[in-house]
Amino acid sequence: RMQRSIELILVEQGALSNEQLKEIMTLAQVDEITPLAYIRQHKLVSNESLARAYATFMNIEYLAKISEKMADPTLLGKIPVRFLRKNVVMPIVFNDRSTIVTANPFDYQ
């Protein structure tokens, strides 16, 4: 199966219309940047819409909110706070499983 682009996912999720995407593609070409870069540069969708699209693109779950109650104290005690802050990650319990949430799922390191 071919992977859809972030831009097409934004259309599928209703954050952009097909007409807006066509215009963005033309304007991005004039500016010599990618359509996604154009969308981000001009803030054409909300950060939440963009985060949802990234989650869909990467086939990972999107969490709109993370509460303190979700924190995994066992894992938190094993990972230096400095590392967590620097990498913007946090171990949580979600659906009865320990998992790591991150603000940047593209940063695999």
Rounded to the nearest 10°, the torsion over CA 16, 89, 83, 79 is -170
Phi, psi of 90 (to 5 degrees): -155, 130
Overall average pLDDT of the 57-73 stretch: 88
- Residue 61 burial class via C-beta count within 10 angstroms: exposed 0-12, middle 13-18, buried 19 and up: exposed
In this structure, of 31-40, 41-50, 68-77, the range with the lowest mean pLDDT score is 68-77
Whether 81 contacts 88, CB under 8 Å: no
Does pTM surpass 0.75? yes
Provide the pLDDT for residue 108.
Answer: 66
Greater confidence (45 vs 102) lies with: 45
pLDDT score of 1 more than 70: no
Provide the pLDDT for residue 89.
Answer: 87
Overall average pLDDT of the 65-75 stretch: 87
